[in-house]
Amino acid sequence: MMKFIVRRIIQTIPVVFGVTILVFSLMHLIPGDPAQVIAGESAPEKTVEQIRERLGLNDPLPVQYGKFLGNILQGDLGDSVRSSRPVLDEIKHRFWITVELAVYSTILSVFLGLIAGIISAVRHYTVSDVLIMIIALFGLSMPNFWLGLMLIQKFAIDWKLLDSSGWGTWAQAILPIITLGTSGAAIIARMTRSSMLEVINQDYIRTARAKGVRERVVIYKHALKNALIPVVTVVGLEFGALLGGTVLTESVFAINGMGRLVIDAIRARDFPIVQGAVLIIALLFVLVNLVVDISYRYLNKRIELE
């Protein structure tokens, strides 16, 4: 097992290297001179040259990338153009807000999705199955920002039960968590149903039933455990998508997370912040995929990792 973990960590190194190249390229893919864009169209040439010198844009690209990579290895993502503070200090607080939002939303998605998927699979082709799949289709088709606005209207404005903005208390967190968790729950429910239907028709499930094993044990101990592998894959992808896709939800609920930070940085042309935020989210996504790969072995002992 340890050999597999070490091998997978080594295999992620080229991926991380590719991520750093893409993030570094952000500065050079924007139209025009990045220093001119940061300084503004009417800025004097002296100011533009000072920005170019500060950002190291006068150096050859390989030199710039080498410095960029070296700074990353030292934990230095540069300084914000707007505040002149280190990028890590700007990101640190916002990052954990987004992680909390993504984790809680994923937990809600898994909880609702597994229950709905199991019920739908066990009672397939019944009214319950059809109703759950219709609700799941609605959840997939519904834009998050629209659902967030509807929840704010009902629970915050009309009924005054919950807060409509901010982050830090459960009254503020419930609505954005429901908003983000709905679409994920729909995807997990459909995947759980599909995977369970494949498993419950296997010979070992019929054998367990023939031996008189209780139906609940058959479903939850034998069938669900073997049906979880594709579900875990979807959960990992959904969690990564939530980390990078909370921009609209954070804007609707006025949450000062990574999404709003990136949007504000793009508007202010604060490219060091954009680079740092994209790099951190991408690296965390790689880490999540690594954890998902490792979890396969614990879910199914028959999977060979060597």
Strand partners, 79: 86
pLDDT computed for residue 8 by the predictor = 81
pLDDT computed for residue 44 by the predictor = 87
pLDDT digits (tens, 9 = 90+) for 17-75: 998 998 888 777 766 677 777 777 788 888 888 888 887 888 888 998 999 899 998 98
Work out the burial of residue 47: count CB atoms within 10 Å of its CB; fewer than 13 is exposed, 13-18 middle, 19 or more buried: middle
Distances (CA, A) of 297 to 53, 79, 285, 303: 51, 42, 20, 6
CA distance 106 to 100: 10
| pLDDT, one tens digit for every residue, the chain (306 residues) | 677 778 888 888 898 899 899 888 877 776 667 777 777 778 888 888 888 888 788 888 899 899 989 999 898 988 887 788 899 999 988 999 999 999 999 999 999 999 999 999 999 889 999 999 999 999 888 888 899 999 999 999 999 999 999 998 999 999 999 999 998 999 999 999 999 999 998 898 989 988 899 988 999 888 988 899 899 989 998 898 888 768 888 989 999 998 888 888 888 778 888 889 989 988 888 888 888 888 877 776 666 544
pLDDT computed for residue 304 by the predictor = 54
Neighbours of 62 (CB within 10 A): 8
pLDDT computed for residue 105 by the predictor = 95
pLDDT computed for residue 291 by the predictor = 87
Strand partners, 86: 79
pLDDT computed for residue 98 by the predictor = 92
pLDDT computed for residue 31 by the predictor = 67
CA distance 108 to 185: 7
Distances (CA, A) of 242 to 32, 95, 126, 257: 32, 12, 33, 12
92-299 has CATH 2.40.160.100 classification: no
- Region(s) of the chain under CATH 1.10.3720.10: 92-299
